[in-house]
Structures are given as C-alpha cells and as structure tokens.
Amino acid sequence: MSLELTAPIPEEPSVADDGTWLECIECGEQFAPFDDVRYTCDDCDGLLEVRYASPPTWDDFEGRGVWRYNAALPFEEGVSLPEGATPLHTVPRLESDVGVETLRIKHEGMNPTGSFKDRGMTVGVRVAKELGVGRLACASTGNTSAALAAYGARGGMETLVLLPAGKVAAGKIAQAALHDARILEVDGNFDSCLDIVQDLAARGEVYLLNSLNPFRLEGQKTIGLEILEEFFDDYGTYPDRIVLPVGNAGNTSALYKAFRELVQSGALDAEDVPKLTGVQAEGAAPMVEAIENGWDETRRWDDVETRATAIRIGNPVNAPKALPGIRETGGTAVAVSDEEITEAQRDLAAEGVGVEPASAASVAGLRKLRENGTVSEDEQVVCLTTGHLLKDPDAAFEAGDDPEPVPNDTDAVLEHLAE
C-alpha cells in the first residue's frame, strides 16, 4: 500500500518534473504535476498525492516559516504574506489538570489570516500561477475563504467563495469580503457547497483550492515539521502524540505525509512518529464512526450540527488519506460534545491562548482520552489549535464572562469589586 508508514522512496517516473509528480493513492497512476489542472485520478477518480524522488532530511531546511521547508515542497518560494513559524505554547496549569507529562499547544491561529489554511494557500496559489489559471474558488466554513481571499488578493487573482448560508462566523465572512472575494451564500451545508465547487472546477470555470487539491496539503504538512523540530529542540525527543481537530481531515493527512517522507529519507525513525489522534464534534463525527467500526471509508453524514463551525463537515474528502494515518501511527479518534469544546476553549483562554471553538476540540478530546485511559499520564502531547479566537467573536463572547455594569464613580467601582 502506497500509504504505509514505512513505504520506500518511490522510483521517479518519466512524467516527473524536477523530481516531483502526482500519484493516485488508489490505483497508482502517475501524472505530470503542472501540465494540466487535475484534482483526482483520471482513471479511477481516487485522491492524488504529490510525490518526490528525494524526500528531505533535517539538514535540507533553512530559513523561517513555511518556505523554510521548500526542500519538501514543489517550489522554492510561493505567494507569501508570510506564514508559518507559529508558537508552540506551554500551558502548565492545563498540563497538570489534564494529567500528562508534557502538553504543548501549536497555535495555528497566529498565521496571517488567523488559521492554518494560510500554509496551504501559499503553496496552492503558487501552483495556480504555474498552471496559468484565472479564477480561484473554494467551499468554506469560513477559514478557507479568508485565506483564499487574502492569498488570491496577494497574487492578483480573482477569487470566488461558496459558504453555507447562516452557518459561517461573521469574522470570517468579513475577512473574505475585505479581501475582495466574491461571496456566494448557498442554501445548504458545507458539503453541498463543495459539491458545487467541484462541479464548477470540472467544467473548467474555477481552480479549486479546497483540501481535495493535493498541493494544498503540501503547505499544511509544514505544521508537522515545525512541531517535530521545536519539540525536539526543547526536549531532545519527539512528542508521543499529536491531537488535532478534524473537519475535512486535511491536516491529519498532511501531517502523516510529512512523517512518511521523513521516515523515507531516514531523518525520522518509524517508532518515533507521533500517534495521530483526531477529534470531531459529536454532531459531525464520520471519521470517529469509521475508526470505531473499523471501516476502510467514512459514510457521509447529511445532517451535521455543532457550534464548532470550522469542523461542521459530514463528508471528509481526505478520509482515504487520514484513516491510514491514524491507524499506521497507532492513533485513534474521539468525538466530544459542544459543552466539552466550550470548556476546553475556556481552559485555553485561562492560559492566555485564545482560539475559536473548533480549535479547542483537540484539548477537549485529549481530556476525554486521558479520562478513559486511552492516553497515559507519562505521554508527551501536542494539541493543534487551528484558528484564532477572533475568528468567531460571538462564540467567544458566549463562552466568556458577562460585563458588569458599574456607576460612573471610583468609590462605587471599589465597592463593587469588594462585593
């Protein structure tokens, strides 16, 4: 199987361009990377992956941010704002409360538009320029639209975003609008929006930049590279487990690909690869369902609901890449309630780390897995938080404390504080 953790370095095919090509994860068909616009396999419609004849080692990386890792990417540089180099926070009180040896928070909300999506767009928009396409498009629960609009604007390209009407946080719509994207609100959920964008892409009307696009995931895999490097610098070892929110399962797929390539090059031993552990909201948990039932694929949930809007997705398109990633690394998946997500959001805020609800799902999931014994007390864990607090200010306001009205008088303020 081409997605095995210990799969050898692939042999470079004749269609490769400077050691890079596209390969179907289902049938193995190979394609030139930049000759035509292509999202899935021409033969079987399977998902494509970017492959490299020479996977990188740690010595190949220099600089800062996403493009520090250009030896692991299709180009030397991309359309950049710049992105990456996000903090790996310590959270000592939360670490003690959850009950693990080490807990660090990789805060992707510190990217330029406030989410991890920027990592994918710096690569994806660069590929769009290479292909000579005009209009960029995505379906979105909010963060993808904000990132695409910003990077499309940076690249001087037209952008179109389709959003589920009434289901996207205002802060995210505002970003896309200000960056001059054309916004279409669809009477349906995210998966309906993605269906339409895929149809538009198939007709040649747009260049699709959802995570179905294999080049998007190349940028996102740099999250995993940063985690491993910084964690090793601090502790001299790699984390036992990485816990991350799951919507379309792009990050799970991307991190697993990063680790596979490091194993191929000899830069990382297979036994040192962190367990990839996915967390979904109970109202949108097809990946968890598949893991718990031992299925090889997910089953689409047509009705999904959660306050964690960024992971309100019922048909994770990257499941065929993500399920092997979870299983091959010895990880698992767990569903958490909206109440547990809100509690975790408050816990992170108490440590000064402000995230949107979907981001907090990783901490909520870790807590649940620690309580049921799946995660042991001696584990070193990194939780990925994917979006900034201000992505969804309404949710933050609901989760936080209410303002306290006081008279316009200093003594009255002191009296109120003493009560």
pLDDT, tens digit (0-9, with 9 covering 90-100), for 123-152 = 999 999 999 998 999 988 788 999 999 999
pLDDT digits (tens, 9 = 90+) for 262-317: 999 999 999 999 999 999 999 999 999 999 999 999 999 999 999 998 899 999 99
pLDDT (average), residues 84-97: 98
Residue 106: per-residue pLDDT: 98
Q: What pLDDT does 319 receive?
A: 97
Predicted pLDDT at 196: 95
**One-letter-per-residue 3-state SS of the chain:** CCCCCCCCCCCCCCCCECCEEEEECCCCCEECCCCCCCCECCCCCCEEEEEECCCCCHHHCCCCCHHHHHHHCCCCCCCCCCCCCCCEEECHHHHHHHCCCEEEEEEHHHCCCCECHHHHHHHHHHHHHHHCCCEEEEECCCHHHHHHHHHHHHCCCEEEEEEECCCCCHHHHHHHHHCCCEEEEECCCHHHHHHHHHHHHHCCCCEECCCCCHHHHHHHCHHHHHHHHHHHHHHCCCCCEEEEECCCCHHHHHHHHHHHHHHHHCCCCHHHCCEEEEEEECCCCHHHHHHHHCCCCCCCCCCCCCCCHHHCCCCCCCHHHHHHHHHHCCCCEEEECHHHHHHHHHHHHHCCCCECHHHHHHHHHHHHHHHCCCCCCCCEEEEEECEEHHHCHHHHHHHCCCCCCCCCCHHHHHHHHHC
Q: Is the per-residue pLDDT at 252 higher than 60? A: yes
Q: Return d(Cα 389, Cα 172) in angstroms, integer.
A: 11
- The predicted pLDDT at position 168 comes to 78
The rounded mean pLDDT for the chain is 95
Distance separating alpha carbons of residues 47 and 30, to the nearest angstrom: 12
- The pLDDT assigned to 352 comes to 97
Give me the mean pLDDT over the 202-229 stretch.
Answer: 95
Q: How confident is the model at residue 327 (pLDDT cuts 50, 70, 90)?
A: very high
Q: Where does the pLDDT of residue 171 fall: very low under 50, low under 70, confident under 90, or very high at 90 and above?
A: confident
Structure confidence at residue 89 as a pLDDT band (50, 70, 90): very high
Residue that has been written with the tokens 């909206």 in this structure: 338
Residues 226-252 as b/e (b if ≥16 CB within 10 A, e otherwise) read bbbbbbeeeeeebbbbbbbbbbbbbbb
Q: What is the chain's Cα-based Rg?
A: 21
88-113+217-399 and 117-213 share one CATH topology? yes
What are the binding residues? 143, 247-251, 386
Q: Note the Cα 172 to chain centre separation in Å.
A: 16
Rounded mean pLDDT, 227-255: 97
Segment 26-37, tens digit of pLDDT? 999 999 999 999
Q: What is the pLDDT of residue 69?
A: 98
Return d(Cα 225, Cα 203) in angstroms, integer. Answer: 36
| Cα distance between residue 88 and residue 313, in whole Å | 27
Please give the share of the chain, as a percent, with pLDDT higher than 90: 88
- Determine if the pTM surpasses 0.85: yes
pLDDT at 1 over 70: no
- Of 313, 334, 331, which is closest to residue 322 (Cα–Cα)? 331
- CA–CA distance, 96 with 132 (Å, rounded to integer): 52
For the chain, domain boundaries: 88-113+217-399, 117-213
Mean pLDDT of 163-181: 85
Position 248: which residue type? N
Q: Which residues are annotated as a binding site for pyridoxal 5'-phosphate?
A: 143, 247-251, 386
* Domain 88-113+217-399 sits in CATH 1.10.150.120: no
Tokens standing for residue 61: 């990386």
Bridge partners (DSSP) listed for residue 198: none
Q: CB within 8 A of 331, min separation 6: which ones?
A: 241, 275, 276, 277, 278, 325
Residue 293 CA to residue 285 CA, distance in Å, equals 12
**pLDDT range class, residue 226, cuts 50, 70, 90:** very high
Rounded CA separation 370/277 (Å): 12
Report residue 94's pLDDT band, with 50, 70 and 90 as the boundaries.
Answer: very high
Q: Tell me the CATH number for domain 117-213.
A: 3.40.50.1100
Flag the least confident range among 172-186, 235-249, 273-287: 172-186
Lowest mean pLDDT among 19-33, 184-198, 220-234, 269-283: 184-198
CA 146/CA 138 separation, integer angstroms: 10
Which of 94-98, 202-206, 326-330 has the weakest average pLDDT?
202-206
